């Protein structure tokens, strides 16, 4: 910030009103001191908000590899409130607005937005990033002071990551109940309060994530033995607080994986299905343990009907019930494909919708409606065994509505076969799938390439195609669609690796080279959808907070730690980047291990220490893999022929498998010589 701007802001502070663009900052209650901060990163965020376009935020996030930058700038933060029924007739109050992660979507949807925050710097970041919006006022100061100046007729009040700090706002015997009463006094009759908060019993905490606020292990599960200001709650406790605060109408929603970066919203009327909760590695901000497989644990929890107790986060809506029962966000994409699929109840009936989250996505919805008409024509002849669920585009072009279809997903049915080790049943279902989708392919001029198993609901003899987001006028044979469906199916759950691809490839009559070509085609398609933006999983890897597995330390004495650090770790890229969930350890070099089909690349970490590594040989199915060129990458410094020095305790080699043989089971052989370095010596490596 230059001296002229600093002087101007000082004068504005004294005048109690500061204007940034169209946004008003009311400093009447500001004490003159910001009592909390993320430190120097806030100066960087202020510069970004002031000088850069929001279209550049994704690039900035990827370049920074920083948790605070991701947390404050990611568009995915908006998902937690985007689904709420907000329109231009409404007044919204946002308490604890921070750097404005959700202020923008509230401003776009509502008539006016009043924000409150304790920090002037964060409020200026908020104002700069939304300076072109003329319906935002930000009050800076302690909420107990600001509250006295606020209107009492808000249609919606948002407490996103705020309610857990109520003890800091209200000093009483019942701070949470009294805070909720205080908030409720600013709500008009028939209005809503939206509370997003972590669940103190969230499964991620049991599985080894640190508590979000305190940064330690298991403190919320142990009822916060160290005391302090913060408290989170189970759904039962939240409802108890709401009741004693005078609220008789409340509705529980379950943001998944959590409310910060929600991709799916569940409700008591549409709980998760087994197999859906598979995106669980969420340690963006801190390291963590991985004590068990959270997806499998969630499946067991769903079997027992206990999901509400272990959901990682809650969204409690006080007041009238919203129409939305479920939502899935697909906005980690190029702008022209950013949509949300939701299920709403209208006049007692369920309706499925796809809504554009950006005007650029309207053409995508229009194309889907056209695809429905063409697919209906293709699959409407005599003997056809597929039913394409109808879709109708709204007049404004922003919403595509589908008829609600019943049944069980083909994915669930196939999973059931694998769980029972019923390979014959699996093959018979897959054969029927191939028969049904092949209808009319001899004369077809349209192909639904998204006919994956989760997009087909089996309802007796009727198979409903419920999603046809991706179609082409090129003719794909049933074998190509079947391979893509199997490929996506296996990638989504490592338990499905036991499926014999040899049997599937024989059924499809394809060889290894054809399979490799089809996988490459799929990767190109995924890059087209994301516009080369990194996925959230890839960004988590950039942030690079380690994940420690339980087996890494069990039975090891402290004096064995050096040996533990020298174990090589192998990562497999199945098309979504490298991640800890798709990794494992070898006990030393040399080693040979079996690798399933469908891997795009490998990363080999020779140890977890500063070191010098000499590569003797790396082979894939007996063929030597390259140790130089574009297919080979390392974070070490080359100091000799195939020899590298690492001034990091996270050394690694990444090797692309593009163009190499891909069998149902592949053999990887690795031989390296690893010499540990002490940190001081490693520090001299340039």
**187-204 average pLDDT score:** 97
Check whether residue 35 and residue 130 sit in a common domain. yes
Locate 643 and state its tokens: 């020899």
pLDDT of 494: 72
Tell me how crowded residue 164 is: count the other CB atoms within 10 A of its CB.
Answer: 21
128 pLDDT more than 80: yes
Q: Is residue 422 included in any domain, yes or no?
A: yes
List the single range of 49-53, 220-224, 631-635 with lowest mean pLDDT: 631-635
For residues 493 and 512, give the distance between their C-alpha atoms in angstroms, rounded to a whole number.
22
**458 in Cβ contact with 382 (< 8 Å):** no
Check whether residue 426 and residue 389 sit in a common domain. no
335 pLDDT more than 70: yes
Check whether residue 124 and residue 245 sit in a common domain. yes
Q: Is residue 619 included in any domain, yes or no?
A: yes
pLDDT of 164: 96
pLDDT of 468: 92
For residues 299 and 495, give the distance between their C-alpha atoms in angstroms, rounded to a whole number.
13
pLDDT of 547: 85
Check whether residue 98 and residue 171 sit in a common domain. yes
Q: Can you name the residues that pair with 283 across neighbouring β-strands? A: none
pLDDT of 14: 56
Instruction: Please give the mean pLDDT across all residues of the chain.
Output: 89
Q: Is 685 helix (H, G, I), strand (E, B) or coil?
A: coil
Q: Is residue 183 included in any domain, yes or no?
A: yes
Check whether residue 110 and residue 241 sit in a common domain. yes
Regarding predicted confidence, which is higher, 610 or 239? 239
Locate 472 and state its tokens: 């082409």
Check whether residue 150 and residue 264 sit in a common domain. yes
**Nearest of 574, 606, 599, 610 to residue 667 by alpha carbon:** 599
Question: What is the widest separation between alpha-carbon atoms in the chain?
Answer: 79
Q: How many structural domains does the chain have?
A: 4
Q: Is residue 219 included in any domain, yes or no?
A: no
Q: In CATH, what number is assigned to the domain containing residue 459?
A: 1.10.510
Across 547-642, where does the E strand assignment appear?
A: 547-549, 569-573, 583-585, 591-596, 601-605, 611-620, 623-624, 632-634, 637-640
**Nearest of 324, 309, 231 to residue 269 by alpha carbon:** 324
Tell me how crowded residue 155 is: count the other CB atoms within 10 A of its CB.
Answer: 21
Q: What is the DSSP string of 92-110?
A: EEEES-TT-TTHHHHHHHS
Check whether residue 146 and residue 240 sit in a common domain. yes
For residues 272 and 263, give the distance between their C-alpha atoms in angstroms, rounded to a whole number.
13
**183 in Cβ contact with 169 (< 8 Å):** no
**Nearest of 180, 170, 108 to residue 144 by alpha carbon:** 170
Q: Is 149 helix (H, G, I), strand (E, B) or coil?
A: helix
**357 in Cβ contact with 338 (< 8 Å):** yes
Main-chain dihedrals φ then ψ at residue 88, nearest 5 degrees: -70, -5
**Nearest of 174, 206, 220, 377 to residue 294 by alpha carbon:** 206
For residues 164 and 371, give the distance between their C-alpha atoms in angstroms, rounded to a whole number.
47
pLDDT of 1: 47
Q: Is 148 helix (H, G, I), strand (E, B) or coil?
A: helix
351 pLDDT more than 90: yes
Check whether residue 357 and residue 498 sit in a common domain. no
Look up the pTM and report it: 0.80
Q: Is residue 159 included in any domain, yes or no?
A: yes
For residues 542 and 64, give the distance between their C-alpha atoms in angstroms, rounded to a whole number.
9
Between the CA of residue 496 and those of 415, 427, 593, what are the distances in Å? 8, 14, 19
State the alpha helices, DSSP H only, in 306-357.
Answer: 307-310
Last residue of a domain, one of 353, 378, 403: 403
365 pLDDT more than 90: yes
Last residue of a domain, one of 403, 432, 448: 403
**335-348 average pLDDT score:** 94
**531 in Cβ contact with 334 (< 8 Å):** yes
Burial call 185-205: b when 16+ CB within 10 Å, e when fewer: ebbbeebbbbbbbbbbbbbbb
Q: Is residue 326 included in any domain, yes or no?
A: yes
Domain that holds residue 342: 337-403
pLDDT of 581: 63
601 pLDDT more than 60: yes
Locate 482 and state its tokens: 């079947």
Per DSSP, the chain holds a count of helices (H) and strands (E) of 24, 34
Write the CB contacts of 453 (distance below 8 Å, at least 6 apart in sequence). 409, 410, 411, 414, 433, 485, 489
Last residue of a domain, one of 403, 434, 461: 403
487 pLDDT more than 60: yes
Q: For 414-464, write each residue's pLDDT tens digit.
A: 999 998 999 999 999 999 999 999 998 888 899 999 999 999 999 999 999
Tell me how crowded residue 1 is: count the other CB atoms within 10 A of its CB.
Answer: 12
Check whether residue 469 and residue 578 sit in a common domain. no
528 pLDDT more than 80: no
**243-266 average pLDDT score:** 97
Check whether residue 481 and residue 372 sit in a common domain. no
Check whether residue 341 and residue 331 sit in a common domain. no
Strand order in the sheet with 569-573: 583-585, 569-573, 601-605, 653-656, 632-634
Q: Is residue 604 included in any domain, yes or no?
A: yes
Write the CB contacts of 348 (distance below 8 Å, at least 6 apart in sequence). none
Q: How confident is the model at residue 560 (pLDDT cuts 50, 70, 90)?
A: low
Q: Is residue 216 included in any domain, yes or no?
A: no
């Amino acid at each position: 910030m230059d001296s002229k701007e600093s002087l101007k802001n000082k004068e504005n502070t004294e005048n109690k009103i500061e204007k940034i663009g169209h946004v008003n900052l009311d400093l009447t209650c500001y004490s003159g001191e910001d009592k909390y901060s993320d430190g120097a990163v806030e100066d960087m965020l202020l510069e970004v908000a002031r000088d850069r376009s929001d279209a550049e935020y994704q690039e900035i996030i990827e370049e920074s590899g920083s948790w605070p930058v991701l947390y404050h700038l990611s568009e995915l933060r908006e998902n937690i409130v985007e689904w709420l029924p907000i329109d231009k007739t409404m007044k919204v109050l946002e308490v604890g607005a921070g750097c404005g992660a959700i202020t923008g979507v509230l401003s776009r949807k509502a008539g006016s937005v009043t924000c409150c925050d304790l920090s002037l710097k964060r409020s200026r970041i908020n104002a700069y990033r939304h300076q072109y919006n003329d319906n935002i006022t930000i009050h800076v100061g302690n909420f107990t002071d600001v509250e006295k100046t606020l209107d009492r007729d808000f249609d919606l009040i948002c407490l996103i990551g705020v309610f857990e700090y109520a003890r800091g706002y209200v000093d009483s015997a019942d701070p949470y109940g009294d805070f909720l009463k205080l908030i409720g006094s600013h709500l008009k009759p028939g209005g809503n309060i939206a509370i997003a908060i972590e669940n103190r019993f969230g499964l991620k905490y049991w599985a080894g994530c640190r508590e979000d606020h305190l940064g330690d292990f298991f403190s919320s599960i142990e009822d916060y033995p160290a005391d302090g200001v913060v408290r989170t709650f189970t759904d039962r406790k939240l409802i108890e607080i709401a009741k004693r605060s005078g609220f008789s109408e409340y509705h529980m929603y379950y943001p998944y994986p959590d409310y910060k970066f929600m991709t799916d919203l569940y409700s008591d009327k549409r709980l998760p299905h087994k197999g859906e909760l598979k995106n669980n590695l969420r340690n963006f901000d801190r390291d963590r343990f991985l004590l068990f497989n959270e997806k499998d644990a969630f499946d067991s929890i769903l079997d027992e009907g206990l999901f509400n107790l272990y959901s990682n986060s809650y969204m409690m809506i006080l007041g009238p019930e919203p129409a939305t029962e479920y939502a899935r966000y697909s906005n980690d994409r190029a702008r022209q494909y950013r949509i949300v699929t939701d299920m709403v109840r209208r006049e007692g009936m369920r309706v499925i919708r796809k809504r554009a989250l950006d005007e650029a996505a309207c053409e995508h919805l229009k194309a889907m409606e056209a695809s429905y008409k063409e697919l209906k024509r293709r699959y409407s002849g005599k003997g056809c065994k597929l039913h394409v669920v109808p879709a109708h585009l709204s007049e404004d072009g922003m919403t595509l509505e589908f008829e609600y279809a019943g049944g069980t997903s083909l994915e669930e049915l196939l999973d059931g076969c694998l769980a029972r080790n019923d390979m014959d049943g699996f093959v018979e279902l897959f054969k029927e799938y191939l028969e049904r989708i092949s209808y009319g392919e001899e004369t077809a001029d349209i192909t639904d390439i998204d006919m994956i198993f989760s997009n087909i609901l089996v309802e007796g003899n009727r198979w409903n195609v419920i999603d046809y987001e991706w179609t082409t006028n090129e003719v794909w044979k049933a074998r190509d669609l079947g391979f893509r469906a199997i490929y996506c199916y296996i990638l989504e759950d490592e338990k499905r690796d036991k499926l014999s691809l040899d049997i599937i490839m024989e059924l499809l009559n394809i060889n290894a080279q054809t399979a490799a070509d089809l996988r490459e085609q799929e990767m190109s398609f995924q890059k087209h959808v994301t516009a080369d933006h990194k996925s959230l999983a890839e960004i988590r890897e950039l942030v690079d907070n380690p994940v420690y597995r339980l087996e890494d330390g069990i039975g090891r004495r402290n004096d064995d730690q050096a040996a533990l650090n020298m174990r090589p770790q192998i990562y497999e890229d199945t098309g979504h980047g490298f991640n800890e969930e798709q990794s494992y350890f070898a006990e030393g070099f040399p080693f040979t291990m079996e690798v399933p089909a469908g891997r795009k690349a490998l990363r080999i970490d020779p140890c977890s220490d500063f070191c010098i590594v000499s590569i003797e040989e790396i082979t894939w199915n007996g063929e030597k893999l390259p140790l130089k060129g574009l297919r080979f990458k390392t974070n070490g410094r080359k100091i000799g022929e195939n020899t590298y020095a690492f001034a990091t305790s996270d050394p690694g080699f990444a090797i692309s498998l593009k163009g190499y043989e891909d069998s149902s089971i592949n053999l990887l052989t690795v031989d390296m010589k690893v010499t540990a370095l002490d940190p001081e010596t490693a520090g001299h490596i340039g």
